Structure 1
């Protein structure tokens, strides 16, 4: 069983314990669309990531609201929040706290297999959900994508190879993320972005986002030069003593081109 298969099996067990989401009674600041933001200017999707299966604990004591505000103040295009509890030590409460604290788009980063997860994400203030092509059957992917869009959410569709990119394009996804990490082995290579970008239709209707393996401004510059409009960065920001500076440097690197 691969790591991804193990995570998905756990997720199916977890959602059995979820209670139906009640009507929305929490106020969240109005947020713009990530697609529009990345069409206007390339940027960093900055992640709240306490831990991961491959790296173990990264930053367990983080003040997530303070971290999120540092991201926003530095000009992040959006904030990604890991909500998986078992493997990434996040929570839906993390998402809610961040969504209440910032005015930029917020991505619920989890392994989505059910509509109830989408409902929970929206109730907690998420404006974008993640759908991973490798984790879903094609019909399930389409059903969850349609459901999220019907709720007014944006959908980041994540791919890792040419076949999965084809599936995302067939879905007419507007936000397509190339995960430089192989979710079956957890090996990482940012060359993956350059490889898949060769088959990406840069038509102005959709944007390419490079995910994982971004540690330096040179990595960011490589991803932008390969065609990415956005980069998703987690570990580097969580370990940095100056995450805002990291974001500004990565953004100015693009602006200086």
Structure 2
């Protein structure tokens, strides 16, 4: 079977033939020449100070790897949010079969960008036609519909001659294209063709897997090619290649998950490098507040690495805004993939025999396999520091969150009262990335330090049966504030448990336990969410805390903001029935969690 890139490009060749039958090249060229003037991409990038990040914000309804992403978003509204956040380029997917885009979307984006500029007096964002260009006809179409630039993919065009021919067509219409590469060999082709703006696709378009280090390798190669003085015996071609490398600017495409990733790119490529911008699609399409998220991406660029890490709270606050979602009690692969599509950072499976939502190791392995097929980046290398028991817990927790962002979602096995050897055996059989301990496990057992996966430890907060009854009667899961003395006692107890687990755990979750119940969790009752923030403060910011218990789409934002929790864990609050999730509720939960502002204003 042909790879996905080949299938898409072959289909686009058929699409072009159909379009050409309806409107000739001459007719489309005339429309292109009559279109509203375009802006030059290279000039716009040069006008942005080097200490600022150039953001290309993408409108993408769907993709072959993720299916539907955000088909209900209105493009004019989304473009306006991108522009108000400071995006310099609006990228519009126009491929119809796999990405559900259209030329109408392109024209609508240009209209919205023009309106933004007219109403605000600010520079108009450029509009990029992002598609699989297989023919000059598509370049003409792009300009006729108002595009300022187009994307040329070296992986398909293959030769410098083919790339150069399309560059010449675009430049004849005033457009400077993005030229996409996904390897050092493709970079050389792009430079030989005379490309000026290089988009490094961290995703291999033939497999759709992401290599997060590809941008750094391309930047390094450009610096190598342009760094030396011209040798006396150098050929004209070598001199041209050196000159092209020195003049090129780079954008990172694909797999950009948020501000923390931008900072990593900045630090890995250096303060002075050809890296000038990022193109971000899915992350922004799923963001609860696209305007704020674009601004956060831009704000991450001047960041310089701190000499040391002061606390987990500072690390987590320096990454993406909003709380990370964990959808727990997942019993089927379909529900797991739905949670992944909704943007969950973690998907949990109960590996405790005898509980209502438990699954066996084989079932869990099938669910985990579906998550690995969905996500674009392997988790194993990213989780190394998260399971390094010699590292400070703050560093382990940040590594866990970073891994969840880069290889979303992580598969979590939930255990209760099982010892290290049983947890290790089940975790390996199920293939999970993380072990969540939900019972009265002994933190002094040396076996926990040997576990091959990071540990998340649940600490239970007791509430009275009267609280359970009151929440049920009120049909709400809003948490009532605990009396001061009770809150102090709860925080002191949680702090003692947290410190006992700090040598081996990578994160903590506070969950509700009804007084007198045999086990905690699964009650659907909320505790006083403020206790999580108080625990973080009592620990000096050293202990990262998540919350669970009674969370729903309607209260998760308030819960996250009251608690400051980096992670919000839900099971029953997003169920259609026992053991089945409601996809709409899962999606709403993830959106509302992402909208939370965890740090007080």
Query: Would you say same fold, with TM above 0.5?
Result: yes
**Larger relative contact order (C-alpha < 8 A, sep ≥ 6)?**
1
CA distance in 1, matches of 2:141, 2:95: 12
CA distance in 2, matches of 1:37, 1:255: 19
- The partner residue of 2:137 within 107, 116, 127 is 116
Matching residue of 2:148: 127
CA distance in 2, matches of 1:145, 1:3: 25
- Residues 31 and 242 of structure 1, relative CA distance in 2, 3 Å threshold: farther
Alignment deviations for residues 53-101 of structure 1 (CA, whole Å, 9 cap, x no partner): 0000000011101100111111101000000001100000100011122
Offset of residue 229 of structure 1: 0.5
CA distance in 2, matches of 1:153, 1:37: 12
- Residues 166 and 82 of structure 1, relative CA distance in 2, 3 Å threshold: same
Offset of residue 146 of structure 1: 1.2
Q: How does 1:1-150 map to 2 (within 5 A)?
A: 1-18=2-19, 19-20=23-24, 21=28, 23-24=30-31, 28=36, 32-39=39-46, 40-41=48-49, 42-102=53-113, 103-138=124-159, 139-150=161-172
Matching residue of 1:165: 187
SS in structure 2 at match of 1:229: strand
- The partner residue of 1:188 within 169, 187, 210 is 210
Matching residue of 1:255: 302
CA distance in 1, matches of 2:199, 2:104: 25
Alignment deviations for residues 91-131 of structure 1 (CA, whole Å, 9 cap, x no partner): 00100011122121111000001111111000000010110
Offset of residue 34 of structure 1: 2.6
Offset of residue 147 of structure 1: 1.1
Residues 31-40 or 147-156, more deviating: 31-40
SS in structure 2 at match of 1:214: coil
CA distance in 1, matches of 2:187, 2:174: 23
What TM-score do the two structures reach when normalised by structure 2? 0.41
CA distance in 1, matches of 2:41, 2:264: 21
Matching residue of 1:156: 178
- Residues 174 and 22 of structure 1, relative CA distance in 2, 3 Å threshold: closer
Q: Is 1:216 matched up with 2:258?
A: yes
CA distance in 2, matches of 1:137, 1:216: 31
Does structure 2 conserve the Cα–Cα contact (< 8 Å) formed by 1:132 and 1:159? yes
Does structure 1 conserve the Cα–Cα contact (< 8 Å) formed by 2:82 and 2:90? yes
Offset of residue 24 of structure 1: 3.2
CA distance in 2, matches of 1:74, 1:65: 14
Does structure 2 conserve the Cα–Cα contact (< 8 Å) formed by 1:223 and 1:231? no
SS in structure 2 at match of 1:130: strand
Does structure 1 conserve the Cα–Cα contact (< 8 Å) formed by 2:163 and 2:190? no
Does structure 2 conserve the Cα–Cα contact (< 8 Å) formed by 1:92 and 1:124? yes
Offset of residue 38 of structure 1: 2.5
CA distance in 2, matches of 1:160, 1:22: 31
SS in structure 2 at match of 1:199: helix
Unaligned runs of 5+ in 1: none
Is the radius of gyration larger for structure 1 or structure 2?
2
SS in structure 1 at match of 2:257: coil
Does structure 2 conserve the Cα–Cα contact (< 8 Å) formed by 1:83 and 1:94? yes
- The partner residue of 1:243 within 268, 290, 299 is 290
Aligned CA-pair RMSD: 1.8
SS in structure 1 at match of 2:177: strand
What TM-score do the two structures reach when normalised by structure 1? 0.94
Residues 30-39 or 129-138, more deviating: 30-39
Aligned length: 256
SS in structure 1 at match of 2:108: helix
Alignment deviations for residues 179-227 of structure 1 (CA, whole Å, 9 cap, x no partner): 0000111001221111121111477632100000001211112223324
CA distance in 2, matches of 1:32, 1:249: 25
Does structure 1 conserve the Cα–Cα contact (< 8 Å) formed by 2:199 and 2:252? yes
Alignment deviations for residues 156-175 of structure 1 (CA, whole Å, 9 cap, x no partner): 10001011000111112110
